A and B are shown apart, each in its own frame.
Chain A
Amino acid sequence: MISTAQRLVNLEDLHHAMRQGRDLLYPSQPKIMVGTATCGLAAGAEEVLHAVREEVANSQLPYQVTETGCIGWCSQEPLLDICIPGRPRVTYGRMKPGRAREIVRAIPEVKREWALAMMPGDENTLNGAHVNYCVPHNGHMDGLTAYKDLPLFKRQLRIVLRNCGIINPDSLEEYIARGGYHALWHALRKHTPEEILNEVKRSGLRGRGGAGFPTGMKWQAVRDAQGEPKYVICNADEGDPGAYMDRGVLEGDPHSVLEGMTIGGYAMGAHQGVIYVREEYPLAVMRMKQAIRQAEDAGLLGQSIFDSGFSFEIRVVKGAGAFVCGEETALIRSIEGKVGEPQQRPPYPAQHGLWGKPTCINNVESWANIAVIVQRGGDWFSQIGTAKSKGTKVFSLVGNIENTALIEVPMGTTLAEIVYEIGGGIPNARACKAVQTGGPSGGCIPADKFDLPVDYDSLNQAGSIMGSGGMIVMDDHTCMVDIARYFLEFLEDESCGKCFTCRVGTQRLKEIVTRISQGEGEEEDLDLLQDLGWLVREGSLCGLGQTAPNPVLSTLRYFRGEYMAHIRDRRCPAHRCRELITFEIDPVLCNGCGACVQICSGKAILGEKKKPHIITQAQCTKCGACLEMCKFDAVLVH
């Protein structure tokens, strides 16, 4: 962290900060890093960090202990890394305080036990630089795989996530040491706003919030719009369930968003920026606020940045818990202190946005791309990806998948590559059924369509959308009718109520699907779902309503048989819909340990110790806790 506020005015200042940052990034003493993003903390990173700090303090050795953001290896959290000068960085997973202490005590030796992987150096997509951590003959460590050879990381290209898990998010110098704020310097001192805008246009970048509108065109519209002042907004209201890409960036590399927004402000002639962060992300709010203070102190925000005469300020607005506020017009209303109801478009925010002034809204991931586009050029960026979808996309790969992770891959990577190679397939030797993309606005893509390249247009054709990047993998234990019901419940609850078709339509859709999931559906219901789905789509004002039928229509398109099983046979093939299943105990497999009796929420399980138990059906709530508890697979579901 910057000890004394130093204003960065010219390139020499930036280089000076860069050298300071390098000393922190690659110190001459061993460095221990603990990943402390929200997910790391949830997995116990704080205890690990505390143990490491204590151990270092006790040893009185000059080791550095720092925090870092999320490198995306979520299934191995909490993560700990040690960097010993001249040797590769080594990562340890699923750390416990005791093990962390042992690892620290072993320094300067690298403890091989529990080590997951090593990094002989790091690639920096921002400027194409490569930093070697180790002297050549020490580049490889026997038995440890390099990150770039791991299936999880091999196919990744990290533009947006370039610094996540590498730098300390609280350190401005470390951000600068990896080339940060150089793009801003170049933009302000070497280029006109038009040149920057053209570079963004040339890159082919499309909005990463989900809809995929060309960013350059949006910027042009704001630049050309009449009215002052103009505003720049970062949409960090990441509401899609199952998506946390933006949180990863906000918590792991906050300055990348600030730099992108400031460049955007310069290109569009705006001097004020707002970051709207959802309130469920307290750590992201804190890190962003801290980053803004640092940037202000260093003169990277405020009056006449880099003595260019261009001024820009950014403030954070915290959301209040409404999914619909991810929609741009609703988000603007929310910043204005009003109820977050979407507005008719046109006029678009580019003409009539915050306080009625021209406003550019892009999401976190879009903003984090900007510095790289300016630094390396639009042409470089547009070489990555497919014909119509340029660059990379960050996905949160979650659900029933071996490697739950935050990944960034070039557009056009196939679902099969993502699920089976990067994700390592489905755990417990189960079959993969589908992948859900695009959150409540998206759909489920069945496993037999996994050769689909992931880009905006292919996903649309398949009845889903790119969305913000949540990718939830579902195994054969997932019931598609239940998933449709789940999303409809979500949408019914989150519909702001303005449009009748959305407010009532989502209710009726949910009722019909719930009826089917309870075994009380009729075949005609499926036609009704189609008709009603069309009506909700056509009759609603904003994206929430227009896409609300997607989850039910896409599951109906690909999994009609499953709906029919619920309707005709009154059966849930995935054994998920409560009304259609019964639990039983196999008298042969049950050894009467009594674990299920303890956990049973309906007190429905009877039996003497060491004798087979039985479930009283009338009292069974079908919560499935007995199934979870039983170590002998004695609980059966029909």
Chain B
Amino acid sequence: MPEMEAVKPLLAQFEDERANLIPILQEIQATFSYLPEEALRRVARKLHVPVTDVYQVATFYRCFSLKPRGRHLVQVCLGTACHVRGGDLVLERTQTETGAGLSGTSPDLEFTVEPVRCLGCCGLAPVMRVDRDTFAHLDQAKVRGIVNRYRPRKKPATVDTIAASAEKVRS
């Protein structure tokens, strides 16, 4: 597995202590955007703990995912202040706009949308965070524009697309 090459130096940064389990998993999650099974096995070997222990921790905490996440992580806040100002509706709209639906990740792996408990920006409710950027005072109408900012640029022009646009101009 080529991606496992990246795990080795990552693990080397940490001492073999049980207390490092969560920080190690956080590093792996940040690097791969999920926790590959093989990585979990290596962590278990390194820390001399059963794989079940690693699995237990990996599935208990919300910031870990065993499935690949999308390129962009969209966290829609469902804190109380956001809830009373319609945060649940913003979440629903975001799930539709990104195509992530209820499964969480869009089929093109561009977006993972997940509700988050509270981002602590309650004064600007409703809010959501895309990767590192936080967006404030949302309503359903604003969601599309925000999502579109993170969509991949249009595919580079190919012979076919140029022909198609030429056709369009002519007609």
Chain A residues within 8 Å of B, Cβ to Cβ:
38-39, 41-43, 74-75, 77, 238-244, 247, 279-282, 317-318, 320-323, 334-340, 396, 398-400, 404-406, 436, 439, 470, 472, 474, 478, 483, 486-487, 490, 494, 496, 599, 601, 623-625, 628-629
Contact = CB atoms under 8 A, between A and B. Distances in A.
B118 A337 contact: no
Contacts of A405: 123
Nearest to B57: A339
Contacts of B132: 282
B92 interface: yes
B18 interface: yes
A396 B62 contact: no
Given A42-B135, A339-B56, A398-B123, A601 B92 contact: yes
Interface string B119-136: 111111101000010111
A242 B118 contact: yes
Contacts of A334: 22
B51 interface: no
Interface string B11-52: 000000111111101100000000000000000000000000
A601 B62 CA distance: 29
B80 interface: yes
Nearest to B23: A318
Contact of B22 (A281, A337, A439): A337
Interface stretch (B2-10, B83-91, B104-112, B150-158): B83-91
User: For this complex, into which size category does the number of interface residues on chain B fall?
Assistant: 35 or more
Given A396-B123, A398-B123, A629-B141, A38 B134 contact: yes
A320 B80 contact: no
B67 interface: no
Contact of A472 (B17, B61, B81, B93): B81
A601 B57 contact: no
A470 B81 CA distance: 9
Nearest to B118: A241
Nearest to A598: B141
A279 B63 contact: yes
Q: 9 closest pairs, A vs B, by CB?
A: A74-B123, A321-B62, A320-B61, A241-B79, A244-B120, A42-B134, A242-B80, A337-B21, A404-B123
A338 B57 contact: yes
B61 A340 contact: yes
A623 to B, nearest CB: 6
9 contacts: A39-B124, A74-B123, A241-B118, A399-B80, A404-B122, A404-B124, A474-B84, A487-B80, A624-B89
Contacts of A77: 123-124, 136
Contacts of B21: 337-338
By CB atoms of chain B within 10 A, which of A77, A336, A399 has the most? A399
A39 B119 CA distance: 9
B85 A400 contact: yes
Contacts of A494: 117
A77 to B, nearest CB: 7
Nearest to A338: B57
A43 B78 contact: no
Contacts of A323: 117
Given A322-B61, A599-B141, A337 B19 contact: yes
B119 A280 contact: yes
A494 B93 CA distance: 24
B116 interface: yes
B148 interface: no
B160 to A, nearest CB: 31
B161 interface: no
Interface of B: 17-23, 25-26, 56-57, 60-64, 78-86, 89, 92-93, 96, 116-125, 127, 132, 134-136, 139-141
A340 B134 contact: no
Contact of A244 (B23, B25, B117, B121): B121
Given A320-B62, A321-B61, A625-B89, A399 B84 contact: yes
B134 A41 contact: yes
B140 A625 contact: yes
Contact of A436 (B78, B80, B121, B134): B80
Nearest to B122: A398
Given A38-B121, A239-B117, A625-B93, A472 B80 contact: yes
Nearest to B17: A337
A487 B79 CA distance: 10
Contacts of A496: 60
B60 A340 contact: yes
Contact of B118 (A42, A280, A487): A280
A628 B86 CA distance: 10
Given A42-B127, A280-B117, A472-B81, A625 B136 contact: no
B84 A628 contact: no
B19 A490 contact: no
A320 B118 CA distance: 14
A339 B123 contact: no
A240 B26 contact: no
Contact of A335 (B19, B26, B134, B140): B19
A543 to B, nearest CB: 17
A599 B81 contact: no
Contact of B124 (A42, A243, A599): A42
B145 to A, nearest CB: 12
Nearest to B60: A339
B36 to A, nearest CB: 18
B93 A244 contact: no
A340 B61 CA distance: 8
Contacts of B136: 39, 42-43, 77
A623 B92 contact: yes
Contacts of B118: 239-244, 280
Nearest to B137: A43
A239 B118 CA distance: 7
Given A238-B120, A243-B118, A623-B140, 19 more contacts: A39-B121, A41-B134, A42-B135, A241-B83, A280-B118, A317-B22, A322-B62, A337-B18, A337-B21, A337-B57, A399-B84, A404-B122, A436-B80, A439-B80, A486-B80, A486-B83, A599-B140, A623-B93, A624-B86
A433 B56 CA distance: 43
A323 B141 CA distance: 31
B78 A241 contact: yes
B67 to A, nearest CB: 16
A317 B136 CA distance: 28
B149 to A, nearest CB: 14
